[in-house]
Structure 1
Amino acid sequence: MPVYQHYKSRLTQNNHLLMFYQSLKQTNKILILKISKRKEIHQCLQI
């Protein structure tokens, strides 16, 4: 039983990590979008 509990808690930890990683990726996408938009604006300003 303790082994099962341990395994389950490890699984939960991994799940949290995965969710955290996915939210990071999401934030990254948004950041990249913002940055690319800024670059476009800068290019427009330079022209």
Structure 2
Amino acid sequence: MTADAFEEEKKKTLEAGMNYHLSKPINPKTLYNILSNHLTGKEA
């Protein structure tokens, strides 16, 4: 989770091996969907 929403920051996040890039402000529905998909092994 990050406050940076720029495409370059998203790219760096994914290149660093993180699964997702979720920027603030957090939409609870999006957060829950990402967590649910990750925990069940589905891709978002």
TM-score normalised over the length of structure 2: 0.33
Q: Answer 1 or 2: which has greater helix percent.
A: 1
Q: Higher RCO, 1 or 2 (CA under 8 Å, sep at least 6)? A: 2
Using structure 1 for the length normalisation, give the TM-score.
0.31
Q: Which structure would you say has the larger Rg?
A: 1
